[in-house]
Structure 1
Amino acid sequence: MSNYDWNSVFPDTPESFKNKVSATLNSLPDKKEIDKMKNVKVFKKGSIRKKIIGALVATMVVGTTVFAAGKVTSITSHSSNIPTYTTIPTVQQVKKDFECNPKLVNKFDNGYTFVNGYIGDNKGTDDKGNFAGKTKSLDFDYAKGNDKLSLDMENGRLGERSKKETVAANYKGIDLYYYSYTNKFVPANYKMTEQDKKDKASGKYVFSFGSDKEKMSQVQGLNWMEDGVYYSFLGIDSNISKDELVKMAQQVISTK
């Protein structure tokens, strides 16, 4: 499936939100299982340049992925570009704001430290615009030097698990699912070569159209479900390894 360079589409939004949009589209079931993405609409109250507070609404038409309440043709995510938290919140704060009780980590043993946190809302609708499931999300950005990661926590999971995800480990009875792929960003008017077509068909690259120049980007993630909360690590061009992600997930699971 061809995709857009979401980092350029949403230039001034939280890193976790841009990562989430990219991962949501690129980790969907294979092309045989879904229709191609048809349209993208972005609405924002106020000026992006001036960072005026407002909700970003990204409507992504993603085919016929099965969600909790039926087949969904679009996902709408709302997230402010202003952090909800600039320091790690307390359990009481999160339980009040998020209406759920995820496990919180301020600093991981490998050095990744909390930077910002955002509250978001996600809703699925079918091709007739009917409601087909929703979740509330808590998106945390972490940094270790110049390296960045995001950890998304949702009070449930929308959609089926992608076939791209494989079980990396089982910890305390919980399966940890890992995925990775290489994005090849190209300009909107880029004409795919025969080699490009072979690379796309083989899964070597996921092609993303809309970048100002050609570039490669490595995407990887790890996710799991525990006590009704869906946790998802995401790294784009991160130095972190698969084993490190597994250890970070284990630290979250072991948090009291």
Structure 2
Amino acid sequence: MNKTEFDEKMKNMLHECADDLHAPDTMKTRVDFALRSAQVKPRHRWGKRIAVLAAVAAIAVTGAFAAGGFGSITSHSWANQRMSLAQTQQHMEQAGVEFTLPESIGGFTFSYGYDADTLAESAAGEREQVKEVNAEYEKDGVTLDFSAHTAYTVFDGEDDPYAPDAERDVNGVTLAFRDTAYLFVPPDYQPTDEEKQQERAGKLAISYGSDQVENTQFQSVSWTQDGVEYSLSGFDTGLDSEEMLSMAAELVK
């Protein structure tokens, strides 16, 4: 997939997010809109990157959706970008993020870094370009994605009513953990009545586009500190809220 194709997918993805405001008001459903539109296949590394960008973008604009507006964030990265720790650190500094990347997080070792360019637009049409820097960490075949970027200002004043699954306060910073269940299915998949009920209740997100039925979980911790938004996330990490929150707490200054 080239940069132009990815840009178009991300744009359509987030337009669909805005168009589906009539759906159940849950974070799990919001994030699914992004993943469903992107039609990702999470077992592939590039597919996972698309999925992570989509999920994080959807989380970032939840407040704008909740406020009744049509805010959006479009984002893209490059499949072949593999930056070293030093290069990733340099890009963070260039992006205005004062943060020292560790070589490891909770036993997960740095693998590579990559950039993601984002364009945020509020319901009022205010636009803002932000450079996001990501770092992937791996342990025993499990991947965690750490991302950081200066906080969006076009969404200031819009509250996020969706409570996370768990929270922890560290040095005055609130860490928010979310664990979202996903069912990736082929385009012609017909959900069972039970699955439909779980989806309406916000307990299950069904994402179309895979060539076979796959069950997966997306765990994430997000926080804001000193004008910078951070997140630590991954698919099927096997980590619970305490473990994820503890790892994120190590990153708070």
Give the 3 Å change call, closer, same or farther, for CA 152–173 of structure 1 in structure 2.
same
| Alignment check: 8 A CA contact 1:167 1:175 kept | no
Q: Which segments of 5 or more consecutive residues in structure 2 lack a partner in the other structure?
A: 1-28
**Could you tell me how far 1:214 is from its partner in structure 2?**
1.3
Q: How many residues matched?
A: 216
**2-structure distance, mates of 1:222, 1:211:** 26
Which of the numbers 90, 96, 100 marks the counterpart of 2:97? 100
The one-letter amino acid paired with 1:114 is: F
2:134 aligned counterpart, secondary structure: strand
Matched, 1:182 2:181: yes
The alignment's TM-score, normalised by the length of structure 2, stands at: 0.72
| Alignment check: 8 A CA contact 2:146 2:232 kept | yes
| Alignment check: 8 A CA contact 1:154 1:231 kept | yes
| Alignment check: 8 A CA contact 1:14 1:81 kept | no
**Could you tell me how far 1:140 is from its partner in structure 2?**
0.7
Give the 3 Å change call, closer, same or farther, for CA 126–155 of structure 1 in structure 2.
closer
**Could you tell me how far 1:223 is from its partner in structure 2?**
0.8
Percent sequence identity over matched residues? 22
Q: What is the match of residue 49 of structure 1?
A: none
Q: Looking at CA atoms only, which structure, 1 or 2, has the larger radius of gyration?
A: 1
The alignment's TM-score, normalised by the length of structure 1, stands at: 0.71
Q: What is the match of residue 82 of structure 1?
A: 80
Q: What is the match of residue 151 of structure 1?
A: 146
Q: What is the match of residue 65 of structure 2?
A: 65
Q: Which has the higher helix share?
A: 2
Q: What is the match of residue 124 of structure 1?
A: 120
Q: Residue by residue, what CA displacement relative to the aligned partner does 1:131-181 show, whole Å, maximum 9, x if unpaired? A: 433322011110012011001101114755460425521011111101111
**2-structure distance, mates of 1:169, 1:183:** 25
**Could you tell me how far 1:100 is from its partner in structure 2?**
2.7
**How large is the RMSD of aligned CA atoms in angstroms?**
3.2
Q: Residue by residue, what CA displacement relative to the aligned partner does 1:28-86 show, whole Å, maximum 9, x if unpaired? A: 64xxx9xxxxxxxxxxxxxxxxxxxxxxxxxxxxxx6279xx94454211212232522
**1-structure distance, mates of 2:143, 2:104:** 13
Q: Residue by residue, what CA displacement relative to the aligned partner does 1:5-46 show, whole Å, maximum 9, x if unpaired? A: 6433996738445312134347864xxx9xxxxxxxxxxxxx
Give the 3 Å change call, closer, same or farther, for CA 90–7 of structure 1 in structure 2.
closer
**Could you tell me how far 1:210 is from its partner in structure 2?**
1.4
**2-structure distance, mates of 1:227, 1:82:** 31
Comparing 157-166 with 78-87, greater Cα deviation is found at 157-166
**1-structure distance, mates of 2:55, 2:239:** 18
**2-structure distance, mates of 1:9, 1:112:** 20
Q: How does 1:196-207 map to 2 (within 5 A)?
A: 196-207=195-206
Matched, 1:242 2:241: yes
Give the 3 Å change call, closer, same or farther, for CA 127–163 of structure 1 in structure 2.
closer
1:8 aligned counterpart, secondary structure: coil
| Alignment check: 8 A CA contact 1:17 1:139 kept | no
**2-structure distance, mates of 1:6, 1:27:** 20
| Alignment check: 8 A CA contact 2:184 2:208 kept | yes
Q: Which segments of 5 or more consecutive residues in structure 1 lack a partner in the other structure?
A: 34-63
**Could you tell me how far 1:241 is from its partner in structure 2?**
2.4
Q: What is the match of residue 20 of structure 1?
A: 53
1:7 aligned counterpart, secondary structure: coil
**2-structure distance, mates of 1:28, 1:131:** 14
| Alignment check: 8 A CA contact 1:85 1:116 kept | yes
